[in-house]
Structure 1
């Protein structure tokens, strides 16, 4: 059996920021955590790759020659809406997970990011230890939302008059949680050895029982009911 090295187990991070010096400095600080390997790009460089119909190995985001696991970026620095930004990250850079790291504390941006499939929503005011911890949480497959954003959701949205979770089957809860975490129906189906059509049925049944319409409503329900863990619980 091949033995995994520390490089094989490393979290490979791409920091995208309009200030190259800030991005490089942040990479240097984050790499003080033994398991993190970081590289940086500007939004312009990332957009150039998005627009390249045939991106080469050299210009695709990499850290030490390996593809990136997570992108850390401020969506407010892009002209693209979060959904198109996430599509570009996945299609052109092969990055499946992204964390919004921003000074924009609006509920609108946070919701848009979560609906687009971002796995983390963090303010730039958090400490380095909290940021490193959040990166580890997202790499582990969970969604990490700073309490400031969770509080914004609670203030903006009253508790839905929905059915209690006990009315859901275990399979429906699993599917809805996975959807809230940003997983696609195909990914959930592979985990459960079921077809995407069957997963869609579980999602529809669970959503109907909770009176939820669309992924955004599922994400907000998950936040309010503790399905999506906020960053403070990992500190």
Structure 2
């Protein structure tokens, strides 16, 4: 049996996924969670073979949880299952240690196939997203530029961003200017929106 942990903040989606997986004779759903903050403790308690994680969840997002699981429980392999087919998310998920990436509008058999493949030690990536990711390339933003744009999305002033991130206002302005140029935006708000849409934040 392949033991699967599910984490998705949308109860209907989580329930539907669990019901679908339970129809397979070789899959066992051992935990269903609605928050990223619950995953590590539940994984330690239930020892899943596969953790099926959404990207956007309350508490800790799926990408942060992927890195935690990869470090704390390397035998548990992670598949990201999300609505957001953004190439940036794919790149960040794989960098965090995910072994698979599936979008929620995929056929059910594709998700089941992904679980079985990843369980055998292989990787699985949604083919259309993999192709789009190759065309688009990696995020041009540095980690610090991404941090500044994330904080910008909250609508604060340069002084607010500097205070939140522990940087000088001049450094924040430099990072914003660079990020605006790299995203080809006109304003910092537009840069944050464009970067988020590509999955870079």
- TM-score, with normalisation over the residues of structure 2? 0.59
Equivalent residue in structure 2 for 1:37, among 28, 32, 40: 28
Question: Secondary structure of 2:79's match?
Answer: strand
Equivalent residue, structure 2, for 1:86: 66
Q: After superposition, where does 1:113-132 map in structure 2 within 5 Å?
A: 113-132=93-112
Equivalent residue, structure 2, for 1:139: 119
Contact kept? 2:3, 2:50, Cα under 8 Å: yes
Query: Could you report, residue by residue, the CA deviation over 1:136-173 in whole angstroms, capped at 9, with x for unpaired residues?
Result: 00001001011111111221149xxxxxxxxxxxxxxx
Q: Distance in 2 between matches of 1:78 and 1:112?
A: 18
1:120 CA displacement: 0.5
Equivalent residue, structure 2, for 1:191: none
Contact kept? 1:76, 1:104, Cα under 8 Å: no
Equivalent residue in structure 1 for 2:48, among 59, 68, 91: 68
C-alpha spacing 1:108/1:78, structure 2 compared with 1 (3 Å): farther
Q: Distance in 2 between matches of 1:123 and 1:83?
A: 15
Q: Distance in 1 between matches of 2:10 and 2:63?
A: 23
Question: Secondary structure of 2:25's match?
Answer: coil
1:127 CA displacement: 1.1
Q: Distance in 1 between matches of 2:39 and 2:20?
A: 26
- TM-score, with normalisation over the residues of structure 1? 0.51
Question: Secondary structure of 1:40's match?
Answer: strand
Equivalent residue, structure 2, for 1:47: 37
Residues 20-29 or 90-99, more deviating: 90-99
1:77 CA displacement: 2.4
Root mean square deviation, CA, Å: 2.6
Q: Distance in 1 between matches of 2:33 and 2:60?
A: 16
Equivalent residue, structure 2, for 1:108: 88
C-alpha spacing 1:145/1:92, structure 2 compared with 1 (3 Å): same
Stretches of structure 2 that go unaligned for 5 or more consecutive residues are 139-201
Q: Distance in 2 between matches of 1:41 and 1:27?
A: 11
Bigger share in helix: 2
Equivalent residue, structure 2, for 1:221: none
Q: Distance in 1 between matches of 2:111 and 2:54?
A: 14
Q: Distance in 2 between matches of 1:95 and 1:77?
A: 23
Q: Distance in 1 between matches of 2:128 and 2:105?
A: 11
Residues 101-110 or 70-79, more deviating: 70-79
